[in-house]
Amino acid sequence: MNQRSLVVISAGLSQPSSTRLLADRLSAAAVDQAASLGVDLTVRVVELRDVAHDLMNHMLTGFPPAALKDVIDAVSAADGIIAVTPVFNASFSGLFKSFFDILDKDTLADKPVLIAATGGTARHSLALEHALRPMFAYLRAVTMPTSVFAATDDWGGSEDLLHSRVNRAAGELAREISRREPAVVTDPFALTASFADLLGA
């Protein structure tokens, strides 16, 4: 089996949160579907709540505290990302946006990303299409065609519909990861041009 890494970003605030619940459903489905394609997906789940103070400190000081640096490094090295946010005020939460605001601009370039969100009712579902999808397009991520929204209702009675959406999105992500070469992390200290080239530029 080929080894690949998946980082799951959950911006839920309560514990347990329905955002984390959805994130776990998606990552479990992605692991299963990747396995069927011969890919052994190692999963790291990041609760942004745990690095919330670090995110703000990074914005204020310009460098990430150690725990946040570790998360950024994991995202940079990941072969795929699942990003899940609660919908606040018709968009992603501030905490969710803050995390993507502090990433270097190329971190997500050409990286497969599955987007998902949670909210009280299905009326919030298009936040995925008008808020998350454009942001990831701007970051040049490869966003999966299927995005997954789970409303309170979805956690109730029959969950067939959510189940099928989860599986479809996870399948898209698993196929995208499996057909790609492993992610390559660029060294920020690597020189990209000789000094002669810099002088002659």
Partner 1 sequence: MQFGIFSVSDITTDPTTGHTPTEAERIKDIVTIAKHAEEVGLDVFALGEHHNEPFFSSSPTTTLAYIAAQTSTLQLSTATTLITTNDPVKIAEDFAMLQHLADGRVDLTLGRGNTGPVYPWFGKDIRAGIPLAIENYALLHKLWREHTVDWKGKYRTPLQSFTSTPRPLDEIPPFVWHGSIRSPEIAEQAAFYGDGFFANHIFWPASHTQRMIALYRERWAHYGHGDPDTAIVGLGGQVFMAKNSQDAVKQFRPYFDNAPVYGHGPAMEDFTRETPLTVGSPQEVIDRTLGFRDYVGDYQRQLFLMDHAGLPLKTVLEQLDLLGSEVVPVLRKEFANLKPAHVPDAPTHASLLAAKSSSEVSVA
Backbone torsions φ then ψ of 180, nearest 5 degrees? -105, 160
Residue 91 CB coordination number (10 Å): 17
Site string for partner 1, 9-48 (x = CB under 8 A): ----------------------------------------
Stretch that binds partner 1, among 58-66, 110-118, 128-136, 153-161 (CB under 8 A): 58-66
Q: What is the DSSP string of 30-74?
A: HHHHHHHTTEEEEEEEEEGGGGHHHHHHHHHHSS--HHHHHHHHH
Residue from 1, 28, 35, 56 binding partner 1 (CB under 8 A): 56
Within a 13 Å sphere around the CA of 64, how many CA atoms are in the beta-carbon half? 17
Nearer to partner 1, 62 or 156 (CB): 62
Site string for partner 1, 176-195 (x = CB under 8 A): ------------xxxx-x-x
Nearest to 25 by CA among 79, 80, 78, 82: 82
Determine the Cα angle at 89 with ends 84 and 95, to 5°.
Answer: 45
Residue from 43, 52, 57, 139 binding partner 1 (CB under 8 A): 57
Check if the beta carbon of residue 149 is closer than 8 Å to that of residue 128: yes
Q: Least CB distance from residue 198 to partner 1, whole Å? A: 5
Nearer to partner 1, 28 or 67 (CB): 67
Task: Indicate the pairing of strand 80-88 with strand 91-92.
Answer: antiparallel
Q: Which two tokens stand for residue 111?
A: 């990286």
Stretch that binds partner 1, among 37-45, 51-59, 130-138, 165-173 (CB under 8 A): 51-59
Residue from 62, 145, 156, 157 binding partner 1 (CB under 8 A): 62
Residue from 15, 66, 145, 157 binding partner 1 (CB under 8 A): 66
Check if the beta carbon of residue 115 is closer than 8 Å to that of residue 149: no
Nearer to partner 1, 55 or 144 (CB): 55
Binding site for partner 1 (CB under 8 A): 53, 56-57, 60-63, 65-66, 69, 188-191, 193, 195, 198-199, 201
